[in-house]
Homo-oligomer: A and B are copies of this chain.
C-alpha cells in the first residue's frame, strides 16, 4: 500500500474513486485494454452480493444454469433492435484451433439470443411454463472509455431469462425482479434507489419495456444499478419460442430478462465512501469487523493475543479479520482498515484486559463519538447491535442526501439553472418526445433516469413542452 494520502472526495471525486479502488485492493487494471482483475477483497464483496441475490432468486422459484460464451453472429441479427444496439460493442472470434471460422463467433454481450434458441427447443407445452432460469457469468462489450467496476469491456453479472404463457405473467415477473433488486439494494447494501420505467430512448435493445433502479452517487450523479426488461414477444417471434396451450393451439411465449452487475460495487463505493476511504455496508462487507491487538512488549503481546483469540471464538457468527501482522503499528492498521471500509473495529490492549473490556469503533462515525467500551462478555451482542445500527445509519444518511439533492423544477430555465448550480436529481413532469430528450441531453448532459412508478403527484404541466401529464421523470447526469 502506498503511504500517500488518498485524494479528497470533494475536491476530485473521480480521482478519489480510481485511487480508492486500487488502494483498497478491490480491483486492478488488466493487461488487456478495458478489462479488470477483481482482487480477492473485491471478489469477496461480489460473492456476498451474489449470495444475497441468489437467495432471493431461488426463493421466487428460479434455478441457475450455464449457457455458452460464444454466440453465432447470425443469431444476433434475428432481432432487429437487438443487433443495432449491440453491434458496435462486439468482440469477435474469427480463428478457432488454428483455422479461420466459417461463421465468426461473437463473445456474448448478453444471452437473449442463444437462450431464445434453446428455449425454442425445450418448450413444447403450457406444462413446461414458466421457465425461470438465471445465470451467473461474465459478458463482453467493447468499451472505449472504461472505469473500474463502472464500465469495463468484460464485466461480471447475473442475467435472468424467463418465458411465460401470457403477457401479464411476463410483466408480473419483470416487476417482481425489479422489486427484488430494490429490496436487495436497500436491505443489504444500504443503497436507496428510485424504481421506475426507462424512456424509449434508454430502454434495452429489443425490449418492450425496461425498468431500472437508480441510485444517487456521492458526486450527485446517477448510477443505473439494475434493470428488468419485459421483452414482450419480440424474442419469442425472432427465435420461434412457442408452446401448445390447453386447446392444443400453438402460441408465442412472452419473455423477460433482468440483470445486476459488478457495477453495483461502484454504487456501494460512491454512495457510502468518504475522505478516509470505503465504508462497506455491514451485511455485504467481506470483513464485518477487524480486531487490532495493541501491546508494547512480549508479555503484553501474549496476553493480548490470547484475549483476541477468545474474542474471535465469541464472534463466530460474524466475518471477522484478526490482524496479527507484526512490523506495522496499530495506527497504521487503523488507517488501513478504515480505508478498506471495515464497518467495525475492535481494539484490545493491556488496559482493556485489566478492565475486562474492549473498544469498539464504528467506521461510519469516526473519532470519539463512534467509540465505545464494551464488556468482553457481551461483545457478540454489542457487535450485532452496532452492525445493525451502522446499516440503518448508512441507509438514512444516503436517503437524506438523495432527498436533499432531488429538486422539483417546472421550467427548462430552472432545470438548467438548478442542474448547473446544484446538480443532483431533477424531478419533473414530462410529456416530451424522444427528440426532446435528445436535445436536452445535448445541451445539459442530463438524461431521463426513469419515470417514477405510481407517482403521488397527480397531474401537472411538462417542464419542457408545457403539456399536461401524469408522468413524473427523474433527470440527472449519469455514469
Contacts and interface: CB of A to CB of B under 8 A. Distances in A.
A66 interface: yes
Q: Is the interface of A mostly helix, strand, loop or mixed?
A: mixed
A144 interface: yes
Contact of A92 (B43, B63, B94): B94
A93 B95 CA distance: 7
A70 B69 CA distance: 12
Contact of A68 (B40, B133, B154): B154
A32 B96 CA distance: 12
Contacts of A90: 95-98
A377 interface: no
B69 A107 contact: yes
A34 to B, nearest CB: 9
Interface string A72-90: 1001000000000001111
Copies of this chain in its oligomeric complex? 2
A417 interface: no
A31 B97 contact: no
Contact of A107 (B38, B66, B107): B107
A271 interface: no
A47 to B, nearest CB: 7
A140 interface: yes
A44 interface: yes
Interface string A17-29: 0000000000010
B154 A118 contact: no
Interface string A402-414: 0000000000000
A92 B95 contact: yes
Contacts of A89: 97
A104 B122 CA distance: 37
B66 A37 contact: yes
A30 interface: yes
Nearest to A97: B142
Interface residues of A, number: 58
A36 interface: yes
A356 to B, nearest CB: 32
A71 interface: yes
A65 interface: yes
A213 to B, nearest CB: 24
A156 interface: yes
Interface in A106-139: 107, 114, 117-118, 121-122, 127, 133, 137-138
A278 B63 CA distance: 21
A195 to B, nearest CB: 29
A105 B107 CA distance: 12
A93 B96 contact: no
A35 interface: yes
A380 interface: no
A138 B156 CA distance: 13
Contact of A96 (B28, B75, B91): B91
Interface string A261-280: 00000000000000000000
A28 B97 contact: no
B40 A63 contact: yes
Given A94-B94, A107-B107, A140 B69 contact: yes
A35 B107 CA distance: 13
Contacts of A400: none
11 contacts: A35-B70, A38-B66, A40-B63, A42-B65, A43-B63, A68-B154, A69-B154, A89-B97, A93-B94, A98-B142, A137-B138
Interface of A: 28, 30-32, 35-40, 42-44, 46-47, 63-72, 75, 87-98, 104-105, 107, 114, 117-118, 121-122, 127, 133, 137-138, 140, 142-144, 153-154, 156, 327
List the 5 closest A-B pairs by CB distance, nearest first.
Answer: A97-B142, A40-B63, A92-B95, A35-B68, A38-B66
